[in-house]
Amino acid sequence: MDINEIRKQFPVLDQQVYGKPLVYLDNAATTQKPLCVIERERDYYLHENCNIHRGVHYLSQMATEAYEHARQTVARFINAKETHEIVFTRGTTESLNLLATSLGTENGKRKTESLPFSVFRFPFSVLITAMEHHSNLVPWQQMVQRCGGQLLVAPMDDNGVLDLQAYEDLLKQGPQIVAMAHVSNTLGTVNPVKEMIRMAHQYGAITVVDGAQSIAHLPIDVQDLDCDFFVFSGHKMYAPMGIGCLYGKTEWLEKMSPYQFGGEMVDTVSFERTTFNKLPFKFEAGTPNVGAALGLETAIQFLENLDRKAVEEHETLLVKTAVEKLSAIEGMRFIGQAPERSGLVSFIIDGIHPYDLGTIIDKMGVAVRTGHHCAEPVMTRFGIPGTVRASFALYNTLEEVDVLVKAVTRAANMLR
Ligand code: C6P
């Protein structure tokens, strides 16, 4: 893998901030976009822009075809059985809200057992893990509160490793839905989701995997995982913002109610009654972000053109090196030390507020994220206000890790 060649495709990286070369280590928040993705979106607006599924004219048909081709590419990328199992959304958060709303209302309204559970079968509960991002916590919390159910939380140990025994004990309480992060955005922990899904199914629950932090780093095969739902955002995998996906097994998507109403998600409409379109369109109300969907397809092609094993090894080396070199700093405490980790390193230094550290190293050109990273309960669990998080992408280099370590060392000395 020629990192220098790859970096040429990311012009945004080649700039100075505060007179220092930019070292962009906030990739878990969003990755930068390669030229091919930027150009694909630009081309769409230059030559193809049109609303889709609506016009008989040439441009509309071309745009519709391109959008549906992008859906096929996503399906192939994550090995979905059927293309209609891919619903385009704005991102992970919208996908999870769709699920928490639709799964709740379906059961609430019809009082049927059409899904494998009913909110009227008490106790109704959703099981999550202690390391969830707010987007995989708050929608479920609000759902159980609306439906009069309970949110169960599987704990983790001091290294940020999920307690699988406690997870199984909670499964015995019969949660109807289990929602889990594939990779934690604060700790970097890679959860054993395949095993967790197998266990959840054994106890009769359906499973939702939050793939926001795994999609760019790990190969995803939804059939092999056997998850019922898998969600992710395009902007964390080199694609534009405003596009993401919900994968769902046909059998559940068929049974779920639409999430939003209007536009082409209908079949027939009268003042008395509406019937809904087939999958996946019944979940795509209103005009979608066509340009971003095409950008997502190009981002997938960009990744597929690389040796993904080599990318994974490179990113693992970046994390390992960062951990080794940062360890030498006095008062360093890593938050999240699971043996299976991906993409990032999170830490605090005794007596130094993460925000102060982040602000100082920013002036040295190093962009990291500080704070609770939208996972406040994780901070509460570790009794800290936040962490400094350096998160890596395939274009980062070992030299950049050195710049990070030097910047953190200098900032820590200044702040002590
Ligand atoms: N985490 C971070 O800096 P959206 O914003 O919808 O694209 O993704 C939400 C989300 C859901 N789950 C996980 C595990 C995530 O990491 C994120 C986004 C970013 O960590 C922004 S808060």
Residue finishing a domain among 304, 319, 344: 304
So what's the pLDDT on residue 355? 97
Report percent pLDDT > 90 for the chain: 89
Question: What lines the ligand 1 site, CB under 6 Å?
Answer: 28-29, 91-93, 133, 135-136, 181, 185, 210, 212-213, 233, 369, 373-374
Q: If pLDDT is split at 50, 70 and 90, which confidence band does 121 have?
A: low
Which residue, chain included where needed, has tokens 């990192």? Answer: 3
Question: How many other C-beta atoms lie within 10 A of the C-beta of residue 79?
Answer: 14
Find the mean pLDDT for residues 137-149.
91
Instruction: Please determine, for residue 223, whether its predicted confidence score (pLDDT) is greater than 60.
Output: yes
In a domain, 142, yes or no: yes
Query: In terms of domains, do 322 and 300 share one?
Result: no
Q: If pLDDT is split at 50, 70 and 90, which confidence band does 112 have?
A: very low
So what's the pLDDT on residue 149? 87
Instruction: Please determine, for residue 147, whether its predicted confidence score (pLDDT) is greater than 60.
Output: yes
Residue finishing a domain among 304, 335, 356: 304
Query: In terms of domains, do 193 and 52 share one?
Result: yes
The pLDDT tens digits of the residues spanning 71-104 come to 999 999 999 999 999 999 999 999 999 999 988 7
Instruction: Please determine, for residue 144, whether its predicted confidence score (pLDDT) is greater than 70.
Output: yes
The pLDDT tens digits of the residues spanning 293-349 come to 999 999 999 999 999 999 999 999 999 999 999 999 999 999 999 999 999 999 999
Query: In terms of domains, do 251 and 349 share one?
Result: no
Query: In terms of domains, do 386 and 365 share one?
Result: yes
Query: In terms of domains, do 123 and 179 share one?
Result: yes
Query: In terms of domains, do 79 and 202 share one?
Result: yes
Query: In terms of domains, do 198 and 262 share one?
Result: yes
Instruction: Please determine, for residue 206, whether its predicted confidence score (pLDDT) is greater than 50.
Output: yes
Query: In terms of domains, do 285 and 326 share one?
Result: no
In a domain, 393, yes or no: yes
Is residue 244 within 8 A of residue 30, CB to CB? The reply is no
Query: In terms of domains, do 225 and 267 share one?
Result: yes
Query: In terms of domains, do 180 and 65 share one?
Result: yes
In a domain, 276, yes or no: yes
**Region of residue 91 (left: phi > 0; alpha: psi -120 to 50; beta: else):** left
Instruction: Please determine, for residue 130, whether its predicted confidence score (pLDDT) is greater than 90.
Output: yes
Closest atom of ligand 1 to 93 CA is 6
In a domain, 33, yes or no: no
So what's the pLDDT on residue 372? 95
Find the mean pLDDT for residues 146-163.
94
Find the mean pLDDT for residues 204-228.
97
Residue finishing a domain among 251, 283, 304: 304
Distance between CA atoms of 336 and 327, rounded to whole angstroms? 13
Kindly report which listed range (30-34, 145-149, 240-244, 255-259) carries the lowest average pLDDT score.
145-149
So what's the pLDDT on residue 342? 96
In a domain, 49, yes or no: yes
The pLDDT tens digits of the residues spanning 359-384 come to 999 999 999 999 999 999 999 999 99
Q: If pLDDT is split at 50, 70 and 90, which confidence band does 118 have?
A: low
CATH code at position 395 = 3.90.1150.10
In a domain, 169, yes or no: yes
Find the mean pLDDT for residues 13-37.
98
Query: In terms of domains, do 127 and 157 share one?
Result: yes
Domain of residue 312: give its range: 3-27+307-415
User: Residue 386: phi, psi to the nearest 5?
Assistant: 175, -175
In a domain, 337, yes or no: yes
Instruction: Please determine, for residue 107, whether its predicted confidence score (pLDDT) is greater than 70.
Output: no
The pLDDT tens digits of the residues spanning 33-46 come to 999 999 999 999 99
> What is the Å distance from ligand 1's center to 133 Cα?
7
Q: If pLDDT is split at 50, 70 and 90, which confidence band does 111 have?
A: very low
Closest atom of ligand 1 to 185 CA is 16
Q: If pLDDT is split at 50, 70 and 90, which confidence band does 105 have?
A: low
Q: Whose CA is nearest to atom 16 of ligand 1?
A: 185
Q: Whose CA is nearest to atom 21 of ligand 1?
A: 29
In a domain, 56, yes or no: yes
346 three-class SS: strand
Give the distance from CA 347 to its chain's centroid: 21
Instruction: Please determine, for residue 120, whether its predicted confidence score (pLDDT) is greater than 70.
Output: no
Q: If pLDDT is split at 50, 70 and 90, which confidence band does 115 have?
A: low
- CA torsion angle for 176, 179, 182, 183 (degrees, to 10)? -150
Measure Cα distances from 292 to 86, 138, 218 in Å: 15, 26, 22
So what's the pLDDT on residue 54? 79
> What is the Å distance from ligand 1's center to 230 Cα?
14
Indicate if 36 belongs to the active site. Answer: no
Query: In terms of domains, do 52 and 174 share one?
Result: yes
Mean per-residue pLDDT over the chain, rounded: 94
Instruction: Please determine, for residue 182, whether its predicted confidence score (pLDDT) is greater than 70.
Output: yes
CATH code at position 255 = 3.40.640.10
Instruction: State the pTM of this model.
Output: 0.96
Q: Are strands 177-181 and 125-129 parallel, antiparallel or unpaired?
A: parallel
User: Residue 211: phi, psi to the nearest 5?
Assistant: -100, 20
219: preceding bond cis by omega (within 30 degrees): no
Question: What domain count does the chain have?
Answer: 2
